[in-house]
Amino acid sequence: MLKIENLVSHYKTIEALHGISLSVGSDEIVALIGSNGAGKTTLLNSISGHVTKSGLIEFNGTDISNMPAHRIARCGLLQVPEGRHVFPGLIVEENLFVGTTAITGIRLLAGNQKEKLDMVFSLFPRLEERRTQLAWSLSGGEQQMLAISRALMGNPKLLMLDEPSMGLAPKVIEELFGKIVEINRLGTPVLLVEQNAKLALSVSARAYILERGNITLEGPSEELISDERVREAYLGKRKSKNQ
């Protein structure tokens, strides 16, 4: 589905990713774990066409590494960015309509989107209650639901989520991750970026660990969760090392 080889990314003269290789299969949840500043967002933004880079990025057999961002989205590779980025001045429903641009491009009228709206509202009933509210007025959890739903309105062939748990209460996170698993079960592969390693490993089939712009570890999530290095660095099982 998504295949990345030897990806090197730059901000001006600073190299932020030093040769990443990674793949996501057609029905799995793959987690990308790393601490703050490791380069997780840079990786997603490189894939979606927002960071200067070199290397191979193939999506469904097509080389997308030189495509502009909006074309990549129209291929069905949809990113829900860090910080949600709902359109604050549009109401919930309009935010969702805008998401359909990924399928149809710009047009005069939104057309009948009832089927799609029903689909996201059944997944997130709270959004239906908030349907005519301006997006900025939603709570953090609701904004995250809206951001994911907006991507779902675009029929993603692969969904890239950047730290969906950020800033949310534990109960909300639990509910949200249940929905992410459900979305995946309905047939959408997910590349899940998280600082919260425990959570990400518990819902994913495979995982990559990113440290300072390099993948340092990869494998089935079950194995990583019991890996000594992972436990020490990401699961709060710190030993004497720091003392």
Partner 1 sequence: MNLQLLFSGFSTGIIYSLIAMGMVLIFRSVGIMNFAQGEFLMFGGYFCYMFNRLLDLPIGLSLILASICMGFVGVVFMRTSYWPLRHAESKAIIVSAMGASIALKEGARLIWGAVPVTVDRASEGVVNIGTAVIMKQNIAIIVIAFMVMVLIYLLLEKTFIGNIMQATAQDQYMASLTGIPVIVSIGMTFAISAMITGIGGGLLAPLFFLNNTMGTTAGAKAFAAIVIGGFGSVPGAIVGGIIVGLVEAFGGAYISSTYQLVLIYVVLFIVLMLRPQGLFGEKIQEKA
Ligand X SMILES: Nc1ncnc2c1ncn2[C@@H]1O[C@H](COP(=O)(O)OP(=O)(O)O)[C@@H](O)[C@H]1O
Residues that bind ligand X (CB under 6 A): 11, 14, 16, 34, 36-42
H or E element at residue 64: none
Which of Mg ion, partner 1, ligand X, none sits in contact with 11, Cβ below 5 to 8 A by type?
ligand X
7-46 footprint of Mg ion as x/- string (CB under 5 A):
---------------------------------xx-----
Query: From start to end of the chain, where are the E strands?
Result: 2-11, 14-24, 29-33, 52-59, 62-63, 77-80, 158-162, 190-194, 206-211, 214-220
CB nearer partner 1, residue 164 or residue 233: 164
**Least spacing, CB of residue 197 vs ligand X, in Å:** 13
Calpha distance 156→140 (Å, rounded): 23
Ordered strands of the 62-63 beta sheet: 14-24, 2-11, 52-59, 62-63
State the virtual CA torsion across 135, 138, 140, 141 in degrees, nearest 10: -100
Which one, 32 or 127, has the nearer CB to ligand X?
32
88 part of the interface to partner 1, by CB under 8 A: yes
Bridge-based pairing state of the strands 158-162 and 190-194: parallel
Residues that bind partner 1 (CB under 8 A): 48-50, 68-70, 73-74, 78-79, 81, 85, 87-90, 94-95, 97-99, 101-103, 105-111, 136, 150-151, 154
Residues that bind Mg ion (CB under 5 A): 40-41, 82
